[in-house]
Amino acid sequence: MNSDSASLPQVAAALPASAPARFRAVRQQTEALCRPLLPEDTVVQPVIDVSPPKWHLAHTTWFFETFLLREYLPGYAVYHPDYAFLFNSYYNSLGSRVNRADRGTLSRPPLADVYAYRAFVDAQMEQLLALQDTLPAAFQEVFELGLQHEQQHQELLVTDIKYILSTSPLAPAYQPAPPTPPPSAAPAARWLPVPGGVYRIGFQEEGFCFDNELEAHDTYVADFELQNRLVTNAEYLEFMEAGGYRDFRYWLGEGWDLVQQQGWEAPLYWVLHEGSWHRFSHHGLVAVNLAAPVTHISFYEADAYAHWRGCRLPTEQEWEIAARHFGATPAAGTFLESGLYDPQPLSPTAPASQCHQLLGDAWEWTYSAYHPYPGYQRAAGALGEYNGKFMLNQLVLRGGSCATPASHIRLTYRNFFHADKRWQYTGIRLAR
Amino acid sequence: MNSDSASLPQVAAALPASAPARFRAVRQQTEALCRPLLPEDTVVQPVIDVSPPKWHLAHTTWFFETFLLREYLPGYAVYHPDYAFLFNSYYNSLGSRVNRADRGTLSRPPLADVYAYRAFVDAQMEQLLALQDTLPAAFQEVFELGLQHEQQHQELLVTDIKYILSTSPLAPAYQPAPPTPPPSAAPAARWLPVPGGVYRIGFQEEGFCFDNELEAHDTYVADFELQNRLVTNAEYLEFMEAGGYRDFRYWLGEGWDLVQQQGWEAPLYWVLHEGSWHRFSHHGLVAVNLAAPVTHISFYEADAYAHWRGCRLPTEQEWEIAARHFGATPAAGTFLESGLYDPQPLSPTAPASQCHQLLGDAWEWTYSAYHPYPGYQRAAGALGEYNGKFMLNQLVLRGGSCATPASHIRLTYRNFFHADKRWQYTGIRLAR
Amino acid sequence: MNSDSASLPQVAAALPASAPARFRAVRQQTEALCRPLLPEDTVVQPVIDVSPPKWHLAHTTWFFETFLLREYLPGYAVYHPDYAFLFNSYYNSLGSRVNRADRGTLSRPPLADVYAYRAFVDAQMEQLLALQDTLPAAFQEVFELGLQHEQQHQELLVTDIKYILSTSPLAPAYQPAPPTPPPSAAPAARWLPVPGGVYRIGFQEEGFCFDNELEAHDTYVADFELQNRLVTNAEYLEFMEAGGYRDFRYWLGEGWDLVQQQGWEAPLYWVLHEGSWHRFSHHGLVAVNLAAPVTHISFYEADAYAHWRGCRLPTEQEWEIAARHFGATPAAGTFLESGLYDPQPLSPTAPASQCHQLLGDAWEWTYSAYHPYPGYQRAAGALGEYNGKFMLNQLVLRGGSCATPASHIRLTYRNFFHADKRWQYTGIRLAR
Amino acid sequence: MNSDSASLPQVAAALPASAPARFRAVRQQTEALCRPLLPEDTVVQPVIDVSPPKWHLAHTTWFFETFLLREYLPGYAVYHPDYAFLFNSYYNSLGSRVNRADRGTLSRPPLADVYAYRAFVDAQMEQLLALQDTLPAAFQEVFELGLQHEQQHQELLVTDIKYILSTSPLAPAYQPAPPTPPPSAAPAARWLPVPGGVYRIGFQEEGFCFDNELEAHDTYVADFELQNRLVTNAEYLEFMEAGGYRDFRYWLGEGWDLVQQQGWEAPLYWVLHEGSWHRFSHHGLVAVNLAAPVTHISFYEADAYAHWRGCRLPTEQEWEIAARHFGATPAAGTFLESGLYDPQPLSPTAPASQCHQLLGDAWEWTYSAYHPYPGYQRAAGALGEYNGKFMLNQLVLRGGSCATPASHIRLTYRNFFHADKRWQYTGIRLAR
């Protein structure tokens, strides 16, 4: 766990140290996220990417049951014989399962049963954790993976809930809006140089990382510059108003086709309301804050924006090298624990010579394919399907977002999505 | 209303006579059907044909609000400005609406809000009905249509709930199973002759009918014979065991393509369980009752079965002529009010010379296209979209089913579905 | 063969009497139709409905080879072992075959090989016909069917060639345009009454008919009226200019969906060229002749037009009864043999009391489903797949068109297409 | 042109030095490839990737007309006003065009007209080339690009013709088979080490390269090893026989889905014929030569094979570094000019210490995304759409194939295809 690692200073949101306490903290965080929901909200799947919250609650539980209780708790009997079929996500090793596109057709088991399943598994896990000193090292690894896995689903819960509520014309609020801060402009962006050379990237610290962050390896980059903050809504609006969505020259071919087919003309969730741009948020429909970082854009939009500015997106190597170079820490970023669920504007007084918003606020699209690092090895068994089989036709995103748990992020963390996805908190940092 | 008509004798399930009492009875019936459901069950739409129960509850309410309260109640203000968009089914006259395929993506408004909407509209309707003597004749017509419309949705609720619960591997029961009757074989089917000639068909009685039952008109049929009961599961199983699903010669071309694509080899809801045929029902998974009428088959299957037997399906003209000829009444049939939700076996002692099960138990596929009768006129305004625009590429079904309210059926009633639909209680009566 | 029948007077285009001469005449007619084509034109399949001319040439030949030579000519060896796979259309009885949608992907065998195949089969057929006195009655029936089948493909060749050439922006001409007649208006349409009653319809004459015209049977119709000519382009243009394509009230639901999806706003092949309506024809792009019958419209358009006029389409029973009542003959109609490939305007001097254009010029959409007649029996064996398996979700068209061989049409002829098809010469006759 | 460059020694197939002679040589090469085709073969498009040969012939001509004649030849008038619409491939800058999927529906203009178009443009180009000393430098660049572009389409002609002929069950031969060499086994593969370090890759020589080979830049690789020859059919067959196509563990997720959906169980063109593996080739159906390199496999298959062997695919950086390290030249490779259209087995006497088959024979899949090199700039104007807009979701292939003109390949050449494509001559070289 990198919350203990030297490279990431302690943040308020850090998890407790003891395994049972950490387990409880993570499990309760998930349920806290679902508390404002009605049972009806936990069932639907408006698009294939967005899973029903009920499914997230059950699937994360199935993970602990399958990989830990069944393996390590003597005499453990599965809670329900059909749940493996219902709540397996994508593990071929573990047999057949509900089609991903059909998750939103299942009203049963109801939410209350899923909570009962969680309570049962939690109680069994407490028993198992009481035995942890007697268990092999592999137990600790998979236990840690189970916590990290559930944190990943916490981020998905934030973004999936947002999407689910957004489909209703009623624009329901997940929670009341915080007090509106006085309007302010973001400070002008500034270019910060990073010297070229051979750098070592990938996970090199103590503690947990995903297999896709390994092996640490050397890479060469030439001199480059990075902007010292994320692109703002105000800047993105300039692109929109300059006709960026109507000029094919800025776009990759596939992106241009999508713009035509889908009629894109703004980020996801943006609507013109009484003549001004609003966006759907966890507080219902609100005015776009021009000083805040732009989010909910596809890679195609990020790349087209960069083209239009005469810049480009960074590679993941450049991003990681810069993040180390500038000593990025999660301390200043906006994460899940803030409860804000929106990236925050950079303070007008933020020092111009520092590189801001690298961790937290918004995932940053890189122009790097999600491919295996040199020396990458898939794990044996079902967990070998965790990451490796997705290593094609997706792009790496770096830095975490306002929906990521602060204790979950790392400088070396490699998130990945297809280039057309817009429902995550995805943003832009320019390079050149 | 044909519950008062001479041709249909009084049944226990008949509606009360006064308008407010009838309104209350119909509205309560709908809610009673939804009472066993969890909120989660009321949201999902596993296939496009199956609407969420929450939507049925709201849409039938919207109908009264739109066509009666807004038209006739002085000073009425709509309950919610977005509900027309959310709960309009298919009326182009009434503006844009949620895509039919997206009904299952809407978690909001939640079930409780929909019940509040119902309560509000019900209270307003009581006020309006208090004024009914002052209202024009058109009011009475549309009020009656509103009741009949809600009864149609009661049947859809029964079949849609069945489908929704069936998608879960948990095979949840909507209600406990009734005591199992002792096994019995259905009496052998017998052919009953009907003399040919010119007959008058279509609605000719007093009271309510849909516009598609008009105009009454003469038609000529040659001599024909009809079987005196519905085809049973035992008989249909013979077809299955004789390889009926594997021999293209019995099938219409489109039907054979479907059999291949969908892998059909039994009626909908049938599964082989420990070597014997079971079916999903409102009581969960139960053994197939061989004496009961086969249901949940497409027109293609009904037609292929008839072919294999060397017979054919009746036309809708033959069906109606026979039903009058044999004096069919709803008295003996199984309808919604029985609470059984399954067609019932014919009693072994049923008189062989009578024609049974014409009304109730299962809708009978006819080999008649759902086309306008001679002299048919679409109504003016939005209600002109009620029936007329669907008069192509669908087939007429006759007689009502165990999910039809008894007070809703008539000898002249024309139900209609596409040939591939299987989620209704559709069955077979042979002709030759 | 109805060219000899009393009900259809002799036309110039009648086929010769002797079997070998008739065989030669039909086979040469097919090849004459393909003579203006380049090899490239004979390969493509721009939409699934339109088969490559090369395929038509081979498939009609395969029919004679499969059903006659292989059955009746002693010692006959198939011309090529793969041709049955390549040129079987839809006979499940006869094994696997090229997917219908893939006919246009096959460049081989080339056109020259297909002609060689035709020549070989023709020569063998001559030998077989020399033996015809020794052959069973079934031979004569299938031989006749083979000729009629090839005539059906002659009509398809005319319409498929038109479609194929139309896809090129070069608007190539199949043949030079005939001299343009002086412009003239069609005489005003007049309503002609037909008395109701019980009539016998279906094939009752001597000679050949398709199985779908049987059994002849009684039917009852009420009094009705029919217009004495087809609807003209001028009349249809009034519908277009009155906004007919933009008002859902005239349309069946499926039709309105198609209008939206496909952007229909005129008949197939119509284009606005320098401000006036032109159409693609066998002579390239030409001005629309306002006096000529409208063609290339779907059933949905025919029905919407009739609605807009406050009329309706006839049923197939009405059409046939009227055609007999008015003594329709092919003498005055425009057929394939005219070489015009366009329906012709009614002469301004045509007697108003007669019913014109019943046979030839344009197929007339009826509002009758293509279902089996009472007593219809599918033939045994592969030929049982000729008609019966298509008897659902299609509509009957009557009367033949300018692309139908004159010797092929009958008063009782039932053509059938899906409601959305527009590439045949389909037109409108109004009823009320 | 790199045929003159120091890094690539002179091969027999080198192009002449003078511009008119080179132009003629390239243009004639294209037509020579089409000479064995019938007009029918030049029209069809059996899958979207495979363009009709007629279209290739015209599109390459349109390129010279559009980018050179219209720009530089005084008074030039376009040959036909519709040809830009018909033969533009994907240039948005140059207006609307035939949908790519519809290229195979166009029978017109016929092949003869396309050859006339070529002759006309060729004659005009001769006139223009006579003026070349007076033309700006940009002319030379685009002229060179036009030749390279036509060479790319020569390779596509070879592969598209193969696919087109393969769709026929007749298995027609494009040309007679060469004499069969005596069977021999390929020499055992050997691992050759390459030392890690910072290397310069990308085009650094004189002459022509595509913009995607620029800018030359430094990159770091760790020590790695490469096999000294391509994977053979015999080796690939071991993977097949070991159940490689039935075990998800070797596959990327998307690849495994494809294996299921498409039923892949061997390379494209392989069929079991009388119990042994054959493949469709330019000579019809022939036995698989076990000693020859495997080709016609997707990236997914290449990657799964490497996984199964416990190895991996090289990156494009590794490939290029190794190719320079081992001094790869086209001298020993099999290219288009050989007329063989099949990769050739490595000679049993080939020195084991050398790295063979790097250039020619088969394109080698790398595990590198086709992304822009550092400093890459799209060209201004329409030619900016040549490469840049495709730089996502495709993989780089290196080395050229038996269908590539020898004068077209370079060590730095970056070919690119989607991971599922199999109709090119794609093969495998293992790394570790």
Query: Using one digit for the tens of pLDDT, what is the confidence trace for B89-147?
Result: 888 888 888 888 899 999 999 999 999 999 999 999 999 999 999 999 999 999 999 99
> If DSSP codes are grouped into helix, strand and coil, which group holds residue C78?
coil
Tens of pLDDT along A193-208?
999 999 999 999 989 9
Highest mean pLDDT among B58-62, B385-389, D104-108: B58-62
Q: What does each C-alpha distance from A44 to B42, B49, B243, B384, D427 come to in angstroms?
A: 11, 17, 40, 34, 45
A-chain CB neighbours of D90 within 8 Å are: 253
* Per-residue tokens: C385: 């797949």
CA B425/CA B402 separation, integer angstroms = 7
Window 43-62 of C: residues touching D by CB (8 A cutoff) are 43-46, 54
Q: Are strands A224-227 and A270-273 parallel, antiparallel or unpaired?
A: unpaired
Asked if B109 is an interface residue toward chain C (Cβ–Cβ < 8 A), one would say no
Q: Per residue in C353-384, pLDDT tens?
A: 999 999 999 999 999 999 999 999 888 888 88
What amino acid occupies position D343?
Answer: P
For residue A106, what are its two tokens?
Answer: 């299942």
- So what's the pLDDT on residue B332? 86
A43 to B46: CB separation less than 8 angstroms, yes or no: no
- A228, burial (CB in 10 Å: exposed 0-12, middle 13-18, buried 19+): buried
Burial of D215 by CB count in 10 Å (0-12 exposed, 13-18 middle, 19+ buried)? middle
Q: What sign for the dihedral angle of Cα B404, B408, B409, B414?
A: negative
Find how far residue B133's CA is from the centre of its chain. 33
- Rounded average pLDDT over D156-180: 94
C-alpha span between D395 and B49 (Å, rounded): 42
Q: Does A308 touch chain D (CB under 8 A)?
A: no
- On whether the CB atoms of residues D287 and D278 are closer than 8 A, the answer is yes
Query: What is the per-residue pLDDT across A395-404, written as a single tens digit (0 to 9) for each?
Result: 999 999 999 9
| Tokens read off for A136 | 């092999």
Q: Which residues of B211-247 are buried (b: 16+ CB within 10 A; e: fewer)?
A: bbbbebbbbbbeebbbbbbbbbbbbbbebbeeebbee
Strands (E), D132-182: none
Using 50, 70 and 90 to split pLDDT, how confident is the model at D5?
Answer: very low
Subunit contact C249:B384, Cβ cutoff 8 A: yes
pLDDT tens-digit readout, C214-272 = 999 999 999 999 999 999 999 999 999 999 999 999 999 999 999 999 999 999 999 99
Q: How confident is the model at residue C12 (pLDDT cuts 50, 70, 90)?
A: very low
Which residues, including other chains, have CB under 8 Å from residue A411's CB and lie 6 or more apart? A7, A8, A320, A323, A324, A328, A359
Q: How far apart are CA D384 and CA D94, in angstroms?
A: 12
Whether residue D95 is predicted with pLDDT greater than 90 in this model: the reply is: no
User: Using CA atoms, how far apart are residues D44 and B407, in angstroms rounded to an integer?
Assistant: 62
Specify the range with the lowest mean pLDDT, choosing from A404-418, B51-65, B186-200, C384-398. C384-398
d(CA A380, CA A174): 41
pLDDT, tens digit (0-9, with 9 covering 90-100), for C124-135? 999 999 999 999
In this structure, of B175-189, B258-272, B280-294, D400-414, the range with the lowest mean pLDDT score is: B175-189
Contacts of D252 in chain A (CB under 8 A): 389-392
Interface membership of B324 toward C (CB under 8 Å): no
**Measured between CB atoms, which of D86, D167, D170 is closest to C105?**
D167
Backbone φ/ψ region at A197: left (φ over 0), alpha (ψ -120 to 50), beta: left
pLDDT digit string, tens, across residues D37-47:
999 999 999 99
* Distance in angstroms (rounded) separating the CA atoms of residues D170 and C373: 43
pLDDT at site A15: 78
Tens of pLDDT, residues C137-183:
999 999 999 999 999 999 999 999 999 999 998 999 999 988 877 77
Helix axes A233-241, A299-308, angle to 10 degrees: 70
pLDDT of residue C181: 76
Asked if A214 and A376 count as a contact pair (C-beta separation under 8 A), the reply is yes
What confidence score (pLDDT) does residue B184 get?
83
Distance, in angstroms, between C369 CA and closest chain B CA? 6
C75-89: pLDDT as tens digits: 999 999 999 999 998
Q: Is A111 on the interface with B (CB under 8 A)?
A: yes
Least confident of A98-102, A258-262, A409-413, C174-178: A98-102
Q: Which of A330, A415, A324 shows the shortest CA–CA distance to A15? A: A330
Q: Angle CA(C109)–CA(C111)–CA(C114) in degrees, nearest 5? A: 70
Structure tokens belonging to residue B136: 């024009």
C-alpha distances (whole Å) from D109 to each of B111, C108, D65, D113, D116 are 63, 20, 17, 6, 11
Nearest to B220 among C92, C198, C251 (CB): C198
* Strand pairing report for A197-201 and A191-194: unpaired
> Strand pairing partners for C191?
C227
**Helix spans in D8-81 (H):** 19-34, 53-64, 70-72
CB-based contact, C39 to chain D, within 8 Å: yes
Q: What is the mean pLDDT of residues B63-68?
A: 97
pLDDT at B14: 67
| Cβ-proximal residues to C211 (8 Å cutoff; 6+ apart), any chain | C376, C377, C378, C379, C386, C387, C388
Indicate if the pLDDT at residue C1 is higher than 60. no
Q: What residue of B is the nearest CA neighbor of C251?
A: B389
- CB distance from B391 to chain C under 8 Å? yes
Backbone torsion region of residue A392, taken as left when φ is above 0, otherwise alpha when ψ lies between -120 and 50, otherwise beta? beta
Question: Does the distance separating the beta carbons of C167 and D38 come in below 8 Å?
Answer: no
pLDDT value of residue A179: 83
Residues 6+ apart with CB under 8 A from C134: none
Q: B8 and chain A: CB distance < 8 Å anywhere?
A: no
Q: Which long-range contacts (CB under 8 A, 24 or more apart) does C83-90 make?
A: C83/C58, C83/C117, C85/D169, C86/C58, C86/D169, C87/C55, C87/C58, C87/C59, C87/C61, C87/C62, C88/C59, C88/C62, C89/C59, C90/B253, C90/C385
pLDDT band at D13, cuts 50/70/90?
Answer: low
Q: What is the pLDDT of residue B13?
A: 57
pLDDT at D8 over 50: no
**Rounded Cα distance, A46 and A101, in Å:** 10
How many Å apart are CA A328 and CA A147, to the nearest integer? 24
Name the closest residue on chain B to residue A103, using Cα atoms. B46
Entry pTM: 0.94
Determine what percent of chain B is predicted with pLDDT higher than 90.
Answer: 86
pLDDT of residue A13: 57
DSSP letter string, C256-268:
HHHHHHHT--S-T
C-beta neighbour count of B348 within 10 angstroms: 10
Average pLDDT over residues D2-17: 44
pLDDT, tens only, C313-331: 999 999 999 999 999 998 8
Token pair in block for residue D70 = 């219209």
D178-208 pLDDT, tens digit per residue, is 887 777 889 999 999 999 999 999 999 989 9
Taking only residues 246 to 265 of chain C, the set having a beta carbon closer than 8 angstroms to any beta carbon of chain B reads 248-249, 251-256
Q: Nearest to residue A325, comparing CAs of A190, A193, A207?
A: A193
Q: Which of C90, C220, C419 sits opposite B218 (nearest CB)?
A: C220
Nearest CB to B419; choose among C253, C372, C393: C393
Tokens found for residue B407:
């007070």
C-alpha distance from B120 to closest chain C C-alpha (Å): 32
* Residue A181 confidence class, pLDDT cut points 50, 70, 90: confident
Q: What is the pLDDT of residue C17?
A: 83
The answer on pLDDT for B5 being more than 90 is no
Distance to chain B for A79, nearest Cα, Å:
13
DSSP annotation string for D192-224? EEE--EEEEES--SSS---GGG-S-EEEEE--E
Q: Is the pLDDT reported for residue A17 higher than 90?
A: no
Q: Do C164 and D107 touch (CB under 8 A)?
A: yes
Tens of pLDDT, residue by residue over D224-255, are: 999 999 999 999 999 999 999 999 999 999 99
A146 in Cβ contact with A383 (< 8 Å): no
Q: What pLDDT score was predicted for residue B1?
A: 25
Distance between first and last Cα of chain A: 34
Per-residue confidence at D14, pLDDT binned at 50, 70, 90? low
Instruction: List the single residue in C38, C39, C108 with the smallest CB-CB distance to D165.
Output: C108
Asked if B357 contacts B385 with a C-beta cutoff of 8 angstroms, the reply is: no
Chains that touch D (3 or more CB pairs under 8 A): A, C
Q: Are A417 and A300 in contact (CB under 8 A)?
A: no
Q: For residues D238 and C191, give the distance between their C-alpha atoms in angstroms, rounded to a whole number.
A: 79
